[in-house]
Amino acid sequence: MRIKVVTDKRSGVCGGVSRAIKMIEREICNRNSRDIYVNGELLHNRLEMERLMDSGLKLEEDVEKIRSGVLFIRTHGVSKDVKRLAIENMNQVIDATCPKVSSSQKIIEDHYSSGYQIVIVGKEKHPEVKGLLGYCNFEGICILKNKDIDLIDMKKKTLLIAQTTVASERFEYFASLLKPKISDLKIANTICPFVEKRELELVQFAQEHDIVIFIGGKNSSNTKLMYDRFSAYNKRSYLVENKNEIDFTWFRENDLAGISGSASTPTWQIEEVKKVIEDHFNQ
Ligand code: SF4
């Protein structure tokens, strides 16, 4: 059986993650025997994390346990308290928080100090949201389901802000729901444009191919969101974490197969999956 396999030229990790990986790789090259830590998975991609850890990066979520070496704050950011603690304990703290997340932190901090109630459309337990809550003294309200609206005091002046990877319809839905109810409502749509752009590109990619193999971490909300969206446009879309999860019975004679990935899938993994499929069918 012969098939044609093409990779999605627009795929690859987002700017925030790529920036953090470059910062860490540079530090690993110059480390002079110092330990280099990151306070949690830099990206939801096991293989890429393993690659970085094989080259010397150490993972330690509990910042209090790190007392020497260099600590990278991951792209999702951390609360002000955690950052302060890290700076007190460590010689060197390098902030690799994505600039888009830093901007959300600043918007929250400014509005909270001006007396605004903070409402975040996002998952309370997501690392980015946990960090954001630390910029409003953990008094922010997280909403994702309709019933969460009951937690909001409609009499208070309010900032409505988004987790960078939340679905845009969800955010717009809450914005239109709250507009008539809260007289002083500030709306900050902080959804990452990269994620939105990739969603549109993936829908197009899904429509252009007979079968789509999408590579991404199954614990990544970003991966799940993107996959859920574009797979509606191609019923033969499959989500895998790595080349070992490819099932060759998915493919049919003369298929045009497209390989793509989420915002946390490096291009080397996409090329690797392409090679495995080509080697199997087109020897
Ligand atoms: S998805 Fe967007 S907000 Fe999140 S790390 Fe990447 S660039 Fe930053």
Mutate to test the pocket of ligand 1, among 13, 43, 100, 189 (most ligand atoms within 8 A of CB): 100
Q: Say if residue 222's pLDDT is above 90.
A: no
Residue with CA nearest ligand 1 atom 7: 16
Residue 281 CA to ligand 1 centre (angstroms)? 36
Q: Is the dihedral of CA 237, 242, 247, 252 positive or negative?
A: positive
Ligand 1 atom with the smallest distance to the CA of 263 is 1
Spatial distance between the Cα atoms of 20 and 197, rounded to a whole number of angstroms: 21
Does the C-beta of 79 come closer than 6 Å to ligand 1? no
3-state DSSP of 148-189: HHHHCCCCCCEEEEECCCCCHHHHHHHHHHHCCCCCCEEEEC
Ligand 1 atom with the smallest distance to the CA of 99 is 8
Ligand 1 atom with the smallest distance to the CA of 20 is 5
Does the C-beta of 98 come closer than 6 Å to ligand 1? yes
Out of 3.40.50.1980, 3.50.50.60, 3.40.1010.20, 3.40.190.10, select the CATH number for domain 100-193: 3.40.1010.20
Share of the chain above pLDDT 70, in %: 99
CATH class name, domain 15-98: alpha beta
Q: Which residue has the tokens 């033969």?
A: 236
The residue count for the chain: 283
Ligand 1 atom with the smallest distance to the CA of 193 is 2
Does the C-beta of 140 come closer than 6 Å to ligand 1? no
Do the first three CATH levels of 4-12+194-281 and 100-193 match, i.e. the same topology?
yes
| Residues labelled catalytic | 128
Does the C-beta of 276 come closer than 6 Å to ligand 1? no
- Give me the phi and psi of 91, to 5 degrees please: -70, -40
User: Count of CB atoms within 10 A of residue 124's CB?
Assistant: 15
Q: Say if residue 111's pLDDT is above 90.
A: yes
| Mean pLDDT, range 114-138, rounded to an integer | 96
Spatial distance between the Cα atoms of 209 and 191, rounded to a whole number of angstroms: 28
- 4-12+194-281 folds as Cobalt-precorrin-4 Transmethylase; domain 1 (3.40.1010)
Does the C-beta of 160 come closer than 6 Å to ligand 1? no
Q: For the chain, what are the domain ranges?
A: 4-12+194-281, 15-98, 100-193
pLDDT at residue number 107: 98
Which pLDDT tens digit goes with each residue over 224-280?
888 998 999 999 999 999 999 999 999 999 999 999 999 889 999 999 999 999 999
Q: Say if residue 283's pLDDT is above 90.
A: no
Which pLDDT tens digit goes with each residue over 58-97?
999 998 888 888 999 999 999 999 999 888 887 689 999 9
